[in-house]
Amino acid sequence: MINIDNLSYKYVGNEDKDVLAVNDVNLQIQKGEFVVILGHNGSGKSTLAKLINGLLVPSDGNVFVNGMNTREEELIWNIRQTAGMVFQNPDNQIVATIVEEDVAFGPENQGIESKEIRRRVDEALKIVGMYKYRTHAPHLLSGGQKQRIAIAGVLAMNPQCIILDEPTAMLDPSGRKEVMNTISKLNREENKTIVHITHYMDEAVNADRIVVMSQGKIILQGTPKEVFSHVDEVKKLGLDVPQVTELAYKLRKEGIDVPVDVLTVEELVMKL
């Protein structure tokens, strides 16, 4: 789905303050995969997301989305339609005053006929569980609901892949849960490839693969069990491990024999 090949990106600043935000990254993401990208602030996650979506053009290397090189300007709309993007702040993504009009905005701009738009809007709103709010005003909805509307807007363009850049960062715990449930449903039931950027560790435990970034580089990747079993390494990066993994780690330090790679409460209870 996505092929990132020796990718670098440099923000060119005033004087000699250039920032190498992405530094020689190689990454392949398969169709249908659920990948979580973790990393502390400034590690290059958003820059990487924007490079995948063609919002930024590589300084070096290439990004291919479904075989399309993001450097080719004439492919850019096709690339953005294939790999849709959801951002942190739902208020910046909502453009209309009625939910269903907002969700229709993308396909309308693609020049799709109105009957098909109607079908897509209804389907997208049902998938994110917001169909009964279709005639509501988005600004009166909760943060989690607004973010689900933003996701429906991307879905209505029928992308194969969805990139979400900290979509839960501004939400309360129940909003986060709503959005996470929606994202895993898109992966499981709609077979969408998901690239989910977050700094909440518990949002990473169900991923197929976790990619950890630091200073523009990928420094650790693997299944959640593999990545979180490197507790010391993850902590050194200023990241947390999931609460349960942390507890298991502390128990081990006290001499209690539990495995290092437990991720869920149920698992830890069983082991204990």
Told to check if 168 binds ligand ADP by CB under 6 A, we report no
Rounded Cα gap, residues 261 and 268, in angstroms: 10
Please, which residue, 240 or 246, has the CB nearer to Mg ion? Answer: 240
According to the binding rule CB under 6 A, does residue 214 interact with ligand ADP?
Answer: no
Q: Which residue, among 54, 46, 131, has the nearest Cα to 87 in the 3D structure?
A: 46
Instruction: Give the residue nearest to Mg ion (CB).
Output: 46
Asked if 59 interacts with ligand ADP (CB under 6 A), we say: no
Contact call for residue 32 and ligand ADP (CB under 6 A) = no
Q: Which does 106 bind (CB under 5 to 8 A by kind): Mg ion, ligand ADP, none?
A: none
Can residue 19 be called a binding residue for ligand ADP (CB under 6 A)?
A: yes
| Residue 83: closest CA among 58, 61, 101, 63 | 63
**The three-state (H, E, C) secondary structure of 157-226, written as one string:** CCCCEEEEECCCCCCCHHHHHHHHHHHHHHHHCCCCEEEEECCCHHHCCCCCEEEEEECCEEEEEECHHH
| Token pair for 266 | 């149920």
Site stretch for ligand ADP (CB under 6 A), options 37-45, 52-60, 184-192, 226-234:
37-45
Tokens found for residue 178: 């709503």
Closest approach of Cβ 7 to Mg ion, in Å?
17
Q: Is 43 in the site for ligand ADP (CB under 6 A)?
A: yes
CA angle, corner 197, sides to 31 and 87, nearest 5? 100
Among 43, 46, 82, 229, indicate the residue that binds Mg ion (CB under 5 A): 46
- What is the binding site for ligand ADP (CB under 6 A)? 11, 13, 19, 21, 39, 41-47
- What is the binding site for Mg ion (CB under 5 A)? 45-46
